[in-house]
Amino acid sequence: MTEQPHVVRHGIVHRLYHGETTFPLIRARRKFYAVALVMVVVALGSMLFRGFNLGVEFKGGAIFQVPLTTSSVSVADTRTYVQSLGVKDPIVQTLKSSNGNLQLRVESEPLTDAEKNKVQDGLATHFKVNANDITSQNVGASWGKQVTTKALQGLVVFLLAVVLYISVRFEPKMAASAIIALLHDLLLAAGIYSVTQFVVTPSTVIALLTVLGYSLYDTIVVFDKVEENTRGLEKQGTLTYSEAAELAVNQTFMRSINTSLIALLPVSGLLFVGALLLGAGTLRDLALALFVGLASGAYSSLFLATPLLADLKEREPRFKTLHQRVLDRRASGKAPVRLSQRSAYAAAVTADADADAPEAEAAPGKVTTTATRRPTQQRKKAGRPGRPSGKRKR
C-alpha cells in the first residue's frame, strides 16, 4: 500500500505572512469604491446639515472650573441647573486635574460680567464650595480663528509638497491617487466629529494634521512595491498592470496591517484609558481624531489608493496594449489564466531576468542547459547502449 504524502494545512494568518494568499483587492475595487463613497457622502451630509460642535476656543464664551469634593456628580443635573441660571446650551463635563482632583468644567456662550458673577455664585452655592475657588474666564473667538487659518495654510503647503515629491519620486498618477486617499481620510475623521457631535478643539485640529503623515506612510509603502512589480512589465508580458498592482498590495498587506496596529495601540490607550477611564477630556479630543484617521488611512492605502492607481494606469495606451496581449496569450494557452501570488511574482522576476541576461555559451565538457542534458538522461533510461557491457578484455 502506497503511503500518501502528508499535506500540511496552515491558517489564513500563516498564509498571509508567507505570501500564499491573494485577496482580490483590485478585481473587487468597485465594491470598495462604493463603501468609500457612502462613507464620504454621510460625512459630507452630516457636516452640511448638522455642522460641528465647536469648542469655546472657536466660537468664544465663558469657562468655569469648579473643584469637586465628591465624585457623585450628575452631568445632566448640572446642565439643567446651569440652564436655570440663564445660560443657553451649556457644555458640562467632569475632568481630572494634574494633581488628580476631580473638577467640573462648564462652557457657555459669551456672558457679561454680571451674568458671569451670577453663574459663579450659583455654582458655589450648588456644590457648596467657596466662590473664590471657582476659576472663570472669557475666551474670544479670534484665537480659534487664527488656529484654523494657520492649519489650513499648513494643509495647503503640505499637499503641494506631497504632490511634488510623489510626482518626482514616482509619477503624477501616483500623486493623484495618494491625494484622493488622503482627502478621504480627512473627510472621514471630520465626519465622525460631526456625526457624534464631539467638541472640536485646537487639539482636534492638531490631530487631523498629524493624521496626514500616517495616512501617506502606508500609501507610499504600497506604491514602492507597485513600482517594483511593474518595472519592465511590458517586456515580460505575463501580467497586466492591475494584476501586478494587486500582487504588490497582497505582498505588503500584512506589513500595512502591522504598522497600523502598532500605531493604533498607543492611540487606543489615549482614547480608552486616558479619556474614558481617567476622564481627561483633552486627550479624548486628540485621540479620537488620531484613531479615526489612522484606521481610515490603513483602509484607504490598501483598498482605495492602489485600485485608483490601477484604473488610471490601465487607461494608458501602452498598458491597454499589454492588457490585450496578456489576454491573447492566455486564450491561446501560452500563459496560465490566473497566477497565485508566489508563482506570479516568480514568473515576473524570471521573465525580467531572462530578458535582460545575455545568452551564455556552454563551457566545453560541461552540461548547462536542459536540451544538452536530455541525451544523457535518455542513455541512463535505456541502459547506456553507447557503452559496452562487461569487463574489458586484456
Distances in Å between the Cα of 229 and the Cα atoms of 223, 239, 259, 290, 356 are 10, 10, 22, 32, 16
Nearest to 355 by CA among 242, 229, 245, 233: 233
In a domain, 266, yes or no: yes
Q: Which residues pair with 195 in a beta bridge?
A: none
pTM of the model: 0.71
> Domain check: are 274 and 202 in the same one?
yes
Can you give the pLDDT of all 394 residues of the chain as single tens digits?
444 444 444 566 666 666 555 778 888 899 999 999 999 999 999 999 988 888 777 888 888 888 887 777 777 888 888 888 888 878 887 777 656 677 888 888 888 888 888 888 888 888 888 888 888 887 776 777 787 788 888 888 888 998 999 999 899 999 999 999 999 998 998 898 899 888 888 878 888 888 877 778 888 889 999 999 898 888 888 889 999 999 888 888 888 888 888 888 888 877 776 555 555 555 666 778 888 888 888 888 889 999 999 999 999 999 888 888 888 888 887 655 554 444 444 444 444 444 444 444 444 444 343 334 444 444 444 444 444 444 444 4
- Domain count of the chain? 2
Q: Are 90 and 75 in contact (CB under 8 A)?
A: no
Query: Look-up: residue for cell 500595512?
Result: 256
In a domain, 200, yes or no: yes
> Domain check: are 131 and 273 in the same one?
no
> Domain check: are 300 and 184 in the same one?
yes
Nearest to 223 by CA among 264, 262, 169: 169
The secondary element (H helix, E strand) that includes residue 283 is: helix 281-300
Q: What are phi and psi of 8, to 5 degrees?
A: -95, 125
In a domain, 389, yes or no: no
Domain boundary among 139, 160, 194: 139
Domain boundary among 87, 112, 139: 139
> Domain check: are 231 and 304 in the same one?
yes
Q: Is 36 exposed, middle or buried (0-12, 13-18, 19+ CB in 10 A)?
A: buried
In a domain, 214, yes or no: yes
> Domain check: are 314 and 293 in the same one?
yes
* Per-residue DSSP letter, 99: T
- In whole angstroms, what is the distance from residue 228 CA to residue 238 CA? 15
> Domain check: are 225 and 247 in the same one?
yes
> Domain check: are 83 and 135 in the same one?
yes
Nearest to 221 by CA among 178, 247, 256, 263: 256
In a domain, 23, yes or no: no
- Could you tell me the residue range of the domain that residue 127 belongs to? 61-139
CATH number of the CATH domain containing 279: 1.20.1640.10
> Domain check: are 151 and 263 in the same one?
yes
> Domain check: are 109 and 159 in the same one?
no
- In whole angstroms, what is the distance from residue 188 CA to residue 192 CA? 6
Task: State the virtual CA torsion across 208, 43, 301, 288 in degrees, nearest 10.
Answer: 40
> Domain check: are 169 and 242 in the same one?
yes
CATH number of the CATH domain containing 80: 3.30.70.2040
> Domain check: are 266 and 118 in the same one?
no
Q: Is 26 exposed, middle or buried (0-12, 13-18, 19+ CB in 10 A)?
A: buried
In a domain, 113, yes or no: yes
In a domain, 356, yes or no: no
Q: Are 289 and 191 in contact (CB under 8 A)?
A: no
Domain boundary among 298, 318, 338: 318
> Domain check: are 66 and 89 in the same one?
yes
Q: What angle do CA 306, 307, 313 make, to 5 degrees?
A: 85
In a domain, 183, yes or no: yes
